[in-house]
Amino acid sequence: MGYESIKWDKLGFDYIKTDLRYLSYWRNGAWQEGTLTEDNVLHISEGSTALHYGQQCFEGLKAYRCKDGSINLFRPDQNALRMQRSCARLLMPPVPSDVFIEACKQVVRANERFIPPYGTGGALYLRPFIIGVGDNIGVRTAPEFIFSIFCMPVGAYFKGGLKPNNFVISSYDRAAPNGTGAAKVGGNYAASLMPGAEAKKRHFADCIYLDPQTHSKIEEVGSANFFAITRNDEFITPKSPSVLPGITRLSLIELAQTRLGLKVIEGDVFIDRIDEFKEAGACGTAAVITPIGGIEYQDKLHVFYSEEEVGPVTQRLYNELTGVQTGDIEAPEGWIVKV
């Protein structure tokens, strides 16, 4: 899609080639100076570990246009830290936080015309990634790596934005108990493709995974974290070593507590007790907050607040989160990095 045909208020979550992307190579034991390039095609060795052994990780974060025309990055330091943890898990060289954040800023500035205008609900989605490259064939860490960040304007990931979506519990696992679930690595997403496609074929937005050890507790959606509101107005979200520690989830935990005055519980969310929740939602950078209308489990659809309307607590959380991201509401210390 060309720039001229972008409809800012109708954006979904689709690839759009923007002007420039950041590219840096790790060679001879160090990250080289990164450059911005027009070329969106990578030329890599056929033996690259990223192609054969899944040695790669990625991130997702957004830049927002504010009312006064300035540009906000939301908690990029947290994405930098998570990427360093993913690198440690897959034996890849970490990118220092200051390099990561500076590269994000360069990409946003170089593609400023692609940032959706304030008030459209869209944002510029940044996709940093690191891949193992270079000539190799044995199962070992790569001799060279590429760190790149590209971006594109996006709108809603799940259809309807704040309209509730239905999800289905999967009988598959996306990650193993002591595997790579907590790292943002491609293998977890490869494992989620077939269950996700089966869910979509049955008109669900996506599937929800249970804990891989006992299959009795909710873990997360294939592309977002899970939260619910209990009948006592508590904000509850699963805590598990195989769940991706989401930055939206982390932010909602703090906002629920400090701004909405809710008690927060990070713990077990047993699937056979979901009727105790009055609202539920999926949260993530792409998903923002997507209300969960209902969850199908063992052939029964458990509806929370409504299949048509967002619940009041979810709506307040959404207003607070998106207000902070676009600069309309004061952010907690350190959450916003101006570009």
- Interface residues with ligand COI (CB under 6 A) are 60, 223, 284-286
The vertex-199 CA angle with 197 and 205, nearest 5°, equals: 100
- DSSP helix/strand/coil, 204: coil
Q: Is 184 one of the annotated active-site residues of the chain?
A: yes
- Best CA proximity match to 269, nearest among 258, 261, 259, 277: 277
β-pairing, 288-297 vs 300-303, is: antiparallel
- Best CA proximity match to 248, nearest among 276, 220, 267: 220
Instruction: Compute and round to an integer the Cα radius of gyration of the chain.
Output: 20
Write down the catalytic residue from 10, 17, 62, 184: 184
CB of 288 to ligand COI, least distance (A): 9
Using the minimum distance from each CB to ligand COI, give the nearer residue, 84 or 136: 84
Q: What is the token pair recorded at 85?
A: 């943890």
Using the minimum distance from each CB to ligand PLP, give the nearer residue, 148 or 180: 180
Within residues 189-228, the interface with ligand PLP by CB under 6 A covers 220, 223-225
Surface-to-core class of residue 99, CB atoms within 10 Å of its CB (0-12 exposed, 13-18 middle, 19+ buried):
middle
Using the minimum distance from each CB to ligand PLP, give the nearer residue, 243 or 274: 243
Residue number of the CB closest to ligand PLP reads 246
CB of 12 to ligand PLP, least distance (A): 16
Question: Which are the contacts of 5, defined by CB distance < 8 A and separation ≥ 6?
Answer: none
The answer to whether the CB of 59 falls within 8 A of the CB of 82 is yes
CB of 216 to ligand COI, least distance (A): 25
Q: How far, rounded to the nearest angstrom, does the alpha carbon of residue 121 sit from its chain's CA centroid?
A: 17
Among 48, 248, 290, 326, binds ligand PLP (CB under 6 A): 248
Does the footprint of ligand PLP cover residue 183 (CB under 6 A)?
A: no
Q: Which does 144 bind (CB under 5 to 8 A by kind): ligand COI, ligand PLP, none?
A: none
Does the footprint of ligand PLP cover residue 246 (CB under 6 A)?
A: yes
CB of 204 to ligand COI, least distance (A): 16
Active site residues: 184
Residue ranges in contact with ligand PLP by CB under 6 A: 60, 220, 223-225, 244, 246-249, 284-285
